[in-house]
């Protein structure tokens, strides 16, 4: 699992009003970037992408945002 720099081509910009995961962005722990990618695996290093927030505070905020929408 090593970053080859491909992820930079898919690097996602931080959304101003909604959370990153809500915007469809995924986090690669190996590359340490948020990318805009349709698959479950990182196109760069091949590691499984994180699609949900890890901390509780963010999670509750996500839930709130989903209820609003
Ligand atoms: Zn990478
Ligand atoms: Zn990666």
- Ligand nearest the Cα of residue 47 is 2
The pLDDT tens digits for 4-56 are 999 999 999 999 999 898 899 999 999 999 999 999 999 999 999 998 877 66
| CA of 24 relative to ligand 1 center, distance in Å | 18
| CA of 64 relative to ligand 2 center, distance in Å | 29
pLDDT given at position 63: 76
Answer positive or negative: Cα dihedral of 51, 52, 53, 59: positive
pLDDT given at position 1: 86
Q: Is the pTM of this model over 0.85?
A: no
pLDDT given at position 69: 65
On whether the CB atoms of residues 51 and 42 are closer than 8 A, the answer is: no
């Amino acid at each position: 699992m090593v970053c080859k720099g491909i992820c930079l081509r898919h690097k996602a910009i931080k959304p101003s009003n909604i959370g990153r995961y809500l915007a469809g962005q995924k986090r690669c722990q190996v590359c340490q970037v948020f990318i805009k990618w349709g698959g479950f695996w990182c196109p760069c290093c091949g590691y499984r992408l994180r699609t949900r927030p890890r901390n509780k505070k963010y999670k509750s905020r996500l839930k709130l945002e989903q209820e609003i929408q």
